[in-house]
Amino acid sequence: MSVNNRASQQKNKKEINRSIAIVASKFNSSISEIELDACVNTLLNLGVPKKKIFSFYVPGALEIALVLKNLASSKRFDGLIALGAVIRGETFHFEIVAMESAFSISRVALEFNIPVANGILTVENKDQALDRAEKKGSDCALVVMEMINLLQPIQEYSDGSVICGKNS
């Protein structure tokens, strides 16, 4: 399903009672701020009330997973979003940060059984990041809401009677 179809399907819904936490990196903040604005605007357009959207800032991409883990363990949120940008430099540091942050974010989702959208851009240069930031922020909002809606019926019917999100 295309991003536009998902957005139009979810846009027609009334206000939804979901709590979303967003963790954004302060490193490369010019990028993460664009992502954050797009993400919040999309969540609002999808019906998430402003009072249910919480933003947290961390020094860099490697610190995001720890905050996500604490937010997930609080059980106060229906979904989590990670935002930031890792831009390739002249050393191997790019690969370490890119891979470790992605792995750690995925671990939080699996360990705590909560949707986590990974919006950490891994790019060659700042221009690439700027070109992608707005769309990535918006896409993360769409992804986290879609995953919340997909997982809810599965989690509600723990007896195994749910197939593809529908009661059989």
Catalytic residue ranges: 93
HSE toward the beta carbon, residue 17, CA cutoff 13 A: 0
> Largest alpha-carbon pair distance within the chain?
55
Alpha-helical runs (H) found in 12-125: 29-45, 61-74, 93-112
Backbone angles phi, psi at 122, to 5 degrees: -120, 105
3-state secondary structure of 86: strand
Residues in the chain: 168
Nearest to 129 by CA among 65, 83, 95: 83
Question: Which residues on adjacent β-strands are paired with residue 87?
Answer: 123
